[in-house]
Amino acid sequence: MALSLCESAIDRQSRELARHGTAPFPLACYWHDGQSVNMVPWHWHDELEVVLVWEGKVFVSVEGESRQLGVGEGCFITAGALHRIWQEGEADVEVHSLVFHPRLVGGSVESVFWQGYLQPLLDSAANRCVWLEAGVPWQGEAMEAVESAWRSCGEEPPGFEFLAREGLSRLIFLLSAHRPAAREGPSEKALRDGERTKRMLRHIQEHYGEELSVAKIAGSAAVSESECLRCFRSVIGVTPMQYVKQFRVERAAELLASGEGRISDVGARCGFQEMSYFARTFRELKGRTPSRYQAEARAFRKNLSDDASDTPEG
């Protein structure tokens, strides 16, 4: 199972569409560079995820709680948690992530692994996200186990599936053994905010190429404009229109990187009616103009193609 450059697609409920691994072996390992890390929008999935930073710095936000992570740091994200990873600036970045279904390490729901170790993590409000630091001994051990699993999937030695599952099982054991004391679960208000925000994100992601306003976004969840603003700030930490701008730019970046259409057509398709505003906004968020971004993407694809053609057979 080769390591993959992460490319995210989401459905109408902001749920990620990518199938992570296979039914017999539900694990996928990804690497992110400075370009791909910013192409992953706010999303959620049924799988667990663990993220490790190997170079540079990135921001991770999970349901309104955000941190900047540097080399030797990471985080564990539980199933169903709305989250995003992104980079600010142009410094080199390398991020490793593993996305795996709970059954890979828990087996059946009747097993001791599921009931004794996994289910308490899935049920715990304190474990929607666990931040990992190398300076904390057990967390450093957990990240070493995860990286061992990631390398096994990349190198594919005989029995690498056992090695990968062993590393992730160690992660779950350490998280379970050190989980915080029981605390109250999410309030009804927090759960309601999360569901409303998912509905509003879905509306934006379906209509980002059209004219959007706070009133239209709020109407998609049958809430007032003030409630819309409060939900966005509470759950994902930005205003609705800031999210719209970010989402439009990320979609434009994907189209530019894939070589689809002229720059002006890409801007219009992504909801930017004025080319000057598109160029200014794109540069503000991506650190380069659309034309430069497109040229760099073409050069990157060419280098990959050249490297593949230069690889000796056999």
Q: CA-based angle 111:114:116, to the nearest 5? A: 95
Q: Positive or negative, the Cα torsion across 254, 259, 262, 263?
A: positive
CA 232 to each of CA 43, 87, 206, 210, 217: distance values in angstroms, whole numbers, following the listed order = 14, 20, 17, 20, 11
Residue 265 pLDDT greater than 90, yes or no: yes
What's the confidence (pLDDT) of residue 307?
Answer: 56
Q: Which of 93, 70, 71, 66 is nearest to 81 (CA)?
A: 66
**What SS3 class is residue 190?**
helix
Calculate the alpha carbon distances from 135 to 68, 71, 142 in Å: 16, 12, 12
CATH number of 4-177: 1.10.10.10, 2.60.120.280, 3.90.330.10, 3.40.50.700?
A: 2.60.120.280
With 50 as the cut, is the pLDDT of residue 43 above it? yes
The domains of the chain are located at: 4-177, 188-300
Comparing 34-43, 159-168, 278-287, which segment has the lowest mean pLDDT?
A: 34-43
Angle (CA) 4-14-270 rounded to 5° is: 85
Write the CATH number of the domain with boundaries 188-300: 1.10.10.60
**How far is the C-alpha of 167 from the C-alpha of 287, rounded, in Å?**
37
Sort residue 293 into left (φ over 0), alpha (ψ -120 to 50) or beta: alpha
pTM above 0.85, yes or no: no
Q: How confident is the model at residue 6 (pLDDT cuts 50, 70, 90)?
A: very low
DSSP states of 116-146 as a string? IIIHHHHH-GGGSEEEEETTSHHHHHHHHHH
